[in-house]
Structure 1
């Protein structure tokens, strides 16, 4: 067997909750051309001239609400995931982030240090679904560093696992205990993306968002279609849980800017639901395998306030899988399948 190492890759986090650190992090994040896919001059104007100066203080306050004594929840949980996986897999494992530390070179060098004869690295993007602003940019970032630094070992990438039976079962089991309480609906809230990102990742140029049921009509574009993949995750998890369609719905959170994004919007739906008779709500965020700002602050704090403040009676955020044993077993199995 080839001498190999494993890199777990997640989004990343600011180094601290200070405004300067948020400014640095947000600049790196939002200047990514796969996140804000505008011409460089316009992206620079928007990010450095408008968004970062305005958002940095607000983001710093948001991070302060969810920051743990050990540090950023996302970083802490990714490291705990690494430790748990090390109990299941004998290959050396390290972590890298798309934005901030640790950088790709640090991850590669950490593996080489322990294994100078390294022959291949398995990159595990911790994104269940394909999107140019998450999975694609993370993979491209690691590939670029691999090529630029001239490493001789092979680099292989785990594909999105949105419909992997083990992942679906682990997701369902992480939700199941919360279904014991009285609830009206379960909301699957996914990270949103602009509609144009869906169109850009359609290799056919003629399928995505062209018909009402395009996500259910077989197409090669489904391999890279975020909208299809999150829809399938919702359908499969709901089926595994035995939930009828009347007991769940799907929405998209974290909108940025005024361009058309995937709908419906979580931020719009949460205050609307109580008026529709949905008084007791469960919310889960399957875009993320580790809890982070978008789940702990946006959904568990602000989302709860929006729902209860508009007539909701009970609101339960269901944590990400984090280091749930079944999820660890599933991820280990996915990695072992790489040849």
Structure 2
């Protein structure tokens, strides 16, 4: 009796260095920043900037930061939670499915994960980028890499991609539930801090140029207007979480972190918002970071350490980070539904 072919699932996270060492961080940053979708400038300019300036200047400092969040037993927090998510999803889906985890940059690579899957003669493959909001630099890059690898296969099974899930009900509920673990009413203000993008990348998702989106976006923009706009999806996620928590508009602010370089990025910058709130006498902040489905250097260090220290230096008293989705069973249920949906 012929054994029925399994369905494949490829979860793809951004990536992490293999170790908190300068050489490993240098390798990771180089691969990450040399991606033409991440740093969308001409190749030779990108090479000069990345390999000649950014990576040499940032590698040692970044390695030192990674050491502060690295666990001697479990390693990188992002890798730890990503592996848990993969294992829990495999258990939920059962034997009819085969789940692999890949990192867009470094290990386990998309090439290696797909090589395993190629030999299994899978019936289909569903690719789930672990980024709730679509951006060319994240989800788009994953899709491009998967297609680049699979176009060399002699047989190509049915392949589908999850584009985004910025308003997924279960995901929103987990973020809201994690927020409720803290006494929300005791905080003066709430931040929804998302990973930033260069402003120029927003316009590129509308080749027609008909939408004429403003440079800084619009908090009332609906996802339906441009389903590939990262900015509108960030606001959509925020509105959904705020609704669950019954937050009034004046209680929270959307902002964007991780700016790199001097070109304009999506505003307001998280750092600027911290300054404004401190000047207004705000003392206690609760921070959500809904661009990430697992705690990582951006949540564990950039927000909980860097921004917290900055806020306290300005006169603030406390910055509390709401934990990410991590290994929450309801988040795994959400992933399962994304896999099973059309």
Same fold (TM over 0.5): yes
Counterpart Cα distance in 2 of 1:211 and 1:99: 29
Alignment of 1:130-149 (within 5 A): 130-149=134-153
Alignment of 1:282-293 (within 5 A): 282-293=286-297
Which of 53, 61, 65 is 1:58 aligned to?
61
Which of 151, 161, 165 is 2:165 aligned to?
161
Structure 1 partner of 2:203:
199
Which of 308, 313, 331 is 1:309 aligned to?
313
- After alignment, is 296-305 or 306-315 more displaced? 306-315
Structure 2 partner of 1:319:
323
Alignment of 1:190-269 (within 5 A): 190-210=194-214, 216-217=220-221, 222-269=226-273
Please report how far the alpha carbon of residue 168 of structure 1 lies from its aligned counterpart in structure 2 after TM superposition.
1.8
Gaps of 5+ in 1: none
Normalised to the residue count of structure 2, the TM-score between the two structures is: 0.93
Check the 8 A contact 2:221/2:232 in 1, yes or no.
Answer: no
Normalised to the residue count of structure 1, the TM-score between the two structures is: 0.94
Counterpart Cα distance in 2 of 1:161 and 1:211: 24
Check the 8 A contact 2:30/2:55 in 1, yes or no.
Answer: yes
Counterpart Cα distance in 1 of 2:216 and 2:27: 41
1:103-154 alpha-carbon deviations (Å, 9 max, x no partner):
12321233355xx331111111000001111110111111111113444222
Structure 2 partner of 1:294:
298
Structure 2 partner of 1:76:
80
Change (3 A) 1:216 1:247: closer
Change (3 A) 1:214 1:190: closer
Question: Is 1:24 equivalent to 2:27 in the alignment?
Answer: yes
Structure 2 partner of 1:101:
107
Equivalent residue pairs, number = 336
Gaps of 5+ in 2: none
Please report how far the alpha carbon of residue 214 of structure 1 lies from its aligned counterpart in structure 2 after TM superposition.
5.1
Check the 8 A contact 1:201/1:221 in 2, yes or no.
Answer: no
- After alignment, is 241-250 or 86-95 more displaced? 86-95
Let me know the Cα RMSD of the aligned residues: 1.9
Counterpart Cα distance in 1 of 2:79 and 2:12: 11
Counterpart Cα distance in 2 of 1:28 and 1:330: 30
Counterpart Cα distance in 1 of 2:165 and 2:252: 22
Question: Is 1:92 equivalent to 2:95 in the alignment?
Answer: no
Please report how far the alpha carbon of residue 271 of structure 1 lies from its aligned counterpart in structure 2 after TM superposition.
3.4
Counterpart Cα distance in 2 of 1:42 and 1:211: 24
SS of the residue 1:77 aligns to:
helix
Counterpart Cα distance in 1 of 2:246 and 2:99: 36
Check the 8 A contact 1:202/1:221 in 2, yes or no.
Answer: no
Change (3 A) 1:15 1:286: same
Please report how far the alpha carbon of residue 43 of structure 1 lies from its aligned counterpart in structure 2 after TM superposition.
0.5
Change (3 A) 1:16 1:151: farther
1:202-251 alpha-carbon deviations (Å, 9 max, x no partner):
24313152388756355765211001000111111101110101111110
